[in-house]
Every structure is written in C-alpha cells, then in structure tokens.
Amino acid sequence: MTYNLAVIPGDGIGPEVMKEAVKVLDFVAKKFDLDIRYTYLKAGGCAYDEFGDPLPDETLNTAIKSDAVLLGAVGGYAWDELPVDKRPEKALLGLRKSLGLFANLRPAVLFPQLADACPLKDEIIGDGLDILVVRELTGGIYFGKRGTDENGAFDTLYYSVPEIERITHVAMKAAMKRNKKVMSVDKANILDSSRLWRKTVKRVALEYPEIQLDHMYVDNASMQLIRKPGQFDVIVTGNMFGDILSDEASMLTGSIGMLPSASLGEGHAGMYEPVHGSAPDIARKNLANPLATILSVSMMLRYSFGLDEAAKCVEDAVSKTLDEGYRTADIAGNSHHIIGTREMGDAVSKNI
C-alpha cells in the first residue's frame, strides 16, 4: 500500500528535527516494506518570506489530498511584527481548520530512563507518568468572534453541543484503550460555555459505562498536575484550557523536546507534530532534540496508517536509545553521553 505524506519542516529547528524523523521513517519503511511517498511543502515564516503567505494554496491543497501531514515547527521572533493574518501561526490554524482536525492528542509520558529530568520529587512521580490530554482544537475562544476598538478588545468563547460531543467521544474511546478514566476539565462555576461542556460530557459518557468520569475546574487541575499527577489518565478539555494544561503536563516529563502530538478529524488523515516550538535560538546548531518529532512519526503510523507494529517499533527504538545512555542537552542530566540532533537520529535509526 502507498502512503502519501505531506512533510512541512517549517521554521527554526523544524527542518533539523524533521530530517531526523524522516531518516527514522525511512528505516521503518524498509523494515516493514512500506511505500511512503514524501511531498515537501512550505508553511509558516519561511512560506511568508517566499510567497507572502504563511499558508500558500499549494501547501494547503496538497495537505488536504495527503494521507497524513508531518510538521516540524513554525514561527519565531523574526516574524513577530507581522499583521495577525500573516503570522506564521496562522498556518497551523488554517491547516487544522481546513483538514477538519478537531481533536489534539498530546501524550505526556515520563520515560523511566529520564526520571531524573522530571522537576518533581520522586515520591510525587511514584511509578511514573502517562497522561493523555485530549484538547478540542477548532472551537472555543481561539476561533470565536473578536474585535478591538479604541477602548478595549474582546474574544468570544463559544462551543456548540456537536463540538463538545465529538471531542468527548474521542476521549472516551482513547480511555477504553488505557485505564478507563477520564477527567473533564472546565470552569463550570463561572462560564456558561463550561456548564454546557459539563452537561454534554456527562450525557455522552452514558454511552461508555465502563469509563470512570470525573470533573475538575481548570485552576484546580493546573495545581493537581503538580501535586499529584498520577491521578490523571485521560484529560479532555477545551481549546484554550487544553493549550495551557498540555504544556504544563509536558514539563513533568523533563523536557518539551520529548513530546509528540496528533491532530485528528473524522477520518484517518491527521497532522502530527512535536509539542515544542521553533526555538530559533538553537536553530542550525545541531542541538535540538528530535525525539518528539520521531515519536510523532510513531503516532502517525498508529492513528493514520493503522500500523501498530511499526509504531511500537519506533517507540521501542527510542526507549532502547535512551537505555544506551544517549541524550541531547535538554535531557542530559549530569551523567550521560550528550549528542546532537543528527547523532540522535542516527542512534534511533540504528535501533529500528
């Protein structure tokens, strides 16, 4: 079977980490006899510089026709002064909206080899961390009506019942494959949109009687992630709350450079990217950690291509590489062999 993959390296460290992810994917393709066709596209700041548009039509149209999109990172301070509609981040929002990617899956997993990189005490970590944040991606305050006048500005937080229903189904189905626990996070003591969120989540959960459903206010959830992270398995929440909580959860793993993500819609197509940004300060220095992008490849193999064995092969290769003591600077601790971006890609490839 042929898989058509749209590859968007993006800005900053994006091209560097993408190169290593594709390197690993090539080894996987050879091992499992996969026919993967790459189409390289531009989006973000680099696309604005060349085309005057952060999301050119060719990029969007090709992405829509592809089986999956693999993205590095977009943005950077070089484009901070651009008008809002020309900012690199508009490429992400445009891709998500046009591809119908309403569910963002962000796993926060603390590899046992990196326990010393976690900022929390050992007694808080316990047996380790494995949290999945399911974030609604195309609704909420980021897409609501907004405006600015001489006296102020406003942004509208709006959710429809169907939007809440479909993201709840994603979270419930994910939980069925894990520990059958879902924590819905909202601000139902204050916000009408959150009261609708909680009511709808409760109703959908009736279709999943095996799932233990709990609810938590977002301010308490942000505290509990630090106080007792092991209580969480699957967290489902809205766009802005999910944006913030997933970044908080990511730092419990020791480095944002370890965390992949998947953005999914109704079908099998999806967009896969590391949680980290473009980090222009370390770009082109062979310092970036490519493991988040490599693990995003694993998620792509599982969710879009349905290749669980190949996905696990990537995850096992990453784990074995960590067992061998290889570390990029962000996860080095004090006593490991520090290597660069390219060398980490080589090490994982060797272990495929």
- Strands 260-264 and 270-274 come out as antiparallel
- With a cut of 70, which residues of the chain have pLDDT below it? 334-336
pLDDT of residue 128: 73
Q: How high is the pLDDT of residue 351?
A: 98
Whether 142 is catalytic is: yes
Residue among 11, 67, 243, 330 flagged as catalytic? 243
Give the integer Cα–Cα distance in Å for 166 and 70: 24
Can 173 be counted among the known catalytic residues? no
> CB under 8 Å to 304, separation ≥6 — which residues?
67, 68, 268, 269, 270, 272
Choice among 38, 40, 142, 217 that is catalytic:
142
Q: What are 110-135's pLDDT values in tens digits?
A: 888 888 777 778 778 777 789 999 99
What domains appear along the chain, each with residue ranges and CATH number? Answer: 1-106+261-352 (3.40.718.10), 119-252 (3.40.718.10)
247 is catalytic: yes
Active site residue 116: no
Residue 154's CB is within 10 A of a number of other CB atoms, namely 10
Q: Decide if 316 is catalytic.
A: no
Residue found by looking up tokens 């398995």 in the block: 233
Give the pLDDT score at 342: 98
CA 82 to chain centre: 25
Give pLDDT, residue 119.
Answer: 79
> Among the options 48, 67, 186, 187, which is catalytic?
187
